[in-house]
Structure 1
Amino acid sequence: MALPFDLRSLSVFLAVVDHGGFSAAARSLHLAQSAVSQTIANLEHRLDLALFHRHERRIALTAEGEALVGHARDLLARADAAHLAMRELNELVKGELRIGIPSMLGSYYFPPLLMGFKARHPGIRLTVVEAGARRLQGLIADGELDLGVVIDDGASRHLTRQPLAREEMVVCVPRDHPLAGRSGITPEAFFAEPLVVFQDGYFHREFIDALARETGADAQVAFESNLIPLTKAIVRQGFGITTFLRRVVEEPELAAVSFDPPAWLSLSLAWKESAYLSRAERAFVDFALAHR
């Protein structure tokens, strides 16, 4: 049975959708506008459906067009994956790996892992994106990143995950702070202090907000900063305390004290659910899991 569309017509259809019109789509595809218009007209004819409402200077998707968008994106993504798989059968390995890492992990956990992988696979180009955990999850789900490190908190749906590490979140205080000598710090004692926190969208901030909700405490936010060196400097100078993964606090002027009870985060390496992993991506997953 012949399908009423082909991948090229779907690609043109999505270009019109994404660029908001036939002229802009034609420019992006380096085609004449008439060719784009004819492709859409042929697609509508074969489907026996109107995909766009055509106004004098603008277009809008019909309900049928809206329904086709998701199917079209899925089919084109699967076609790209099939093409890559066939290339790799011919030993043409994908040469670039795009991985997303939360800021706190990028500086303190992953440099040895990334350098070790690069030493083993010098022909693979690595692109590392640092961002908040929530943004990284969205980029992976949208296909803009191949892999990423996520927090296993139940919010990373539509992702395939492999457990990578379990790390402790600790209270970070100056060495001469009254809390530095304790064996554990309760959430109530933590929230009684002025805090230095990350902005929304970072797991550091979400951890603090969740802890505040659980204890019914009000966080006294003195500073907001996504810059770890600046946050440490503020803590060292005594203007507030914060929480970090334990390894981040390891320096002479700062003390890492466990929460009471201790707080742990589970980290996973994740990729888009049902996505095809190239040889480069699979090689990185295998390397990361072997060196966790």
Structure 2
Amino acid sequence: MIENLDLYRVFQIVSQNKSFSQAAKELFMTQSAVSQAISRLEKGLEVQLFYRTPKGVMLTTEGKVLQEHVSSALGILDVAEDKIQAYKGIRRGELRIAVGDTISRYFLLPYLEEFHARFPGIKLKVLNGTTPEILGFLKAGEADVGVCNLPIDDEQFEVTPCMEIHDIFVCGDKYKRISKHRISYDHLMELPLISFEKNTVSRDYVDAFFKERGYELSPVFELGSYDLIMDFAKGNLGISCVVREFSREYLNRGIVHEVLLEEEIPSRYIGIVHLKTVPLSRAAAKFVESIKPRI
């Protein structure tokens, strides 16, 4: 029975998604591994659990019976695990997270909501700051973990990349014409540019990219707020340097338009950081674990 537990979990996810490929994505497995797991379970039970169709998979009569009991059993196990975690102190205490406004709003908030719903007894304290300030909070012992822009060049920290992001330029309707085709760096430098202030990880990364190609970024506006940078673009004050993943809504709605460069700026990452010399609390470890599988 114990050796089949993982197979039952795979079965449950496949039945929920009605798709081997979607289940593979959720489980961070290959589709072949998911298929093999279901085949092993079917062989062990000596029944067929799914009908394979062009539109996905459907439970057989035997599969429906199994799914009902597996769902109940796994639910009971989840409750048991939660109770064990309560005895270990997971449901009590405080978790201190240092994060910037932009990452908090566009990346971290769903994870905070999920963690709070699962562990309502853990008091969440969020410290706001830039990446250098976040590292300062961690070194001073004022925060347990930080979530910030990478890269970070400091050997004191354990760094776990969590989300790949891309720096792009966007414009409002006034400059929409330049979004119709790729533009050269020379052309870009002639435009009124809007960017983060200097000495931020985001700005330094973009500056380094252009410097390697013989260009120096000289923005007309240097701002400390991501929302302001986007507002200035929407207001046709210039061409703003933003993160594509954080700007999906505006791009999809046509409020701003991506300015395509002759060569895209390489992607970078958002990551979780904490001091190597300070063991994570159980609450902090659980929070880090809740984000890491999404990489």
Instruction: Sort the TM-score into its range (normalised by shorter chain).
Output: 0.5 to 0.7
Cα drift, residue 159 of structure 1 = 0.2
C-alpha separation in 1, matches of 2:261 and 2:147: 24
Aligned in 2, Cα 1:123/1:257: closer, same or farther, shift over 3 Å? farther
Aligned in 2, Cα 1:228/1:125: closer, same or farther, shift over 3 Å? same
Contact 2:97 2:124 in 1 (8 A): yes
One-letter amino acid of the structure 2 residue matched with residue 278 of structure 1: S
> Alignment partner of 1:276: what SS?
coil
Alignment partner, residue 106 of structure 2? 108
TM-score normalized with structure 1 length: 0.62
> Alignment partner of 1:179: what SS?
helix
> Alignment partner of 2:164: what SS?
strand
C-alpha separation in 1, matches of 2:143 and 2:120: 20
Alignment partner, residue 24 of structure 1? none
C-alpha separation in 2, matches of 1:143 and 1:260: 44
One-letter amino acid of the structure 2 residue matched with residue 147 of structure 1: V
Which residue of 153, 157, 160 maps to 1:159? 157
Aligned in 2, Cα 1:291/1:119: closer, same or farther, shift over 3 Å? farther
Aligned in 2, Cα 1:249/1:179: closer, same or farther, shift over 3 Å? farther
Q: Does 1:91 align with 2:91?
A: no
Q: Does 1:255 align with 2:263?
A: no
RMSD over equivalenced CA pairs, Å: 2.4
C-alpha separation in 1, matches of 2:293 and 2:216: 42
> Alignment partner of 1:165: what SS?
strand
| Percent identical | 22
Q: Does 1:273 align with 2:276?
A: yes
C-alpha separation in 2, matches of 1:103 and 1:189: 32
Cα drift, residue 121 of structure 1 = 0.9
C-alpha separation in 1, matches of 2:285 and 2:236: 45
Gap runs ≥5 in structure 2: 1-84
C-alpha separation in 2, matches of 1:186 and 1:121: 51
Cα drift, residue 181 of structure 1 = 1.8
1:6-21 maps to which residues of 2 (within 5 A)?
none
Contact 1:249 1:256 in 2 (8 A): no
Alignment partner, residue 290 of structure 1? 293
Contact 2:232 2:240 in 1 (8 A): no
One-letter amino acid of the structure 1 residue matched with residue 289 of structure 2: D
Cα drift, residue 156 of structure 1 = 3.3
Aligned in 2, Cα 1:239/1:157: closer, same or farther, shift over 3 Å? same
C-alpha separation in 1, matches of 2:114 and 2:184: 39
TM-score normalized with structure 2 length: 0.62
Cα drift, residue 280 of structure 1 = 0.4
Alignment partner, residue 217 of structure 2? 219
Aligned in 2, Cα 1:191/1:136: closer, same or farther, shift over 3 Å? farther
Cα drift, residue 118 of structure 1 = 0.9
C-alpha separation in 2, matches of 1:118 and 1:291: 18
Alignment partner, residue 25 of structure 1? none
Alignment partner, residue 122 of structure 2? 124
C-alpha separation in 2, matches of 1:194 and 1:147: 37
> Alignment partner of 1:205: what SS?
helix
Alignment partner, residue 37 of structure 2? none
1:203-218 maps to which residues of 2 (within 5 A)?
203-218=201-216
> Alignment partner of 2:121: what SS?
coil
> Alignment partner of 1:216: what SS?
coil
One-letter amino acid of the structure 2 residue matched with residue 117 of structure 1: F
Gap runs ≥5 in structure 1: 1-87
C-alpha separation in 1, matches of 2:256 and 2:87: 54
C-alpha separation in 2, matches of 1:125 and 1:197: 35
Alignment partner, residue 180 of structure 2? 181
Cα drift, residue 142 of structure 1 = 2.8
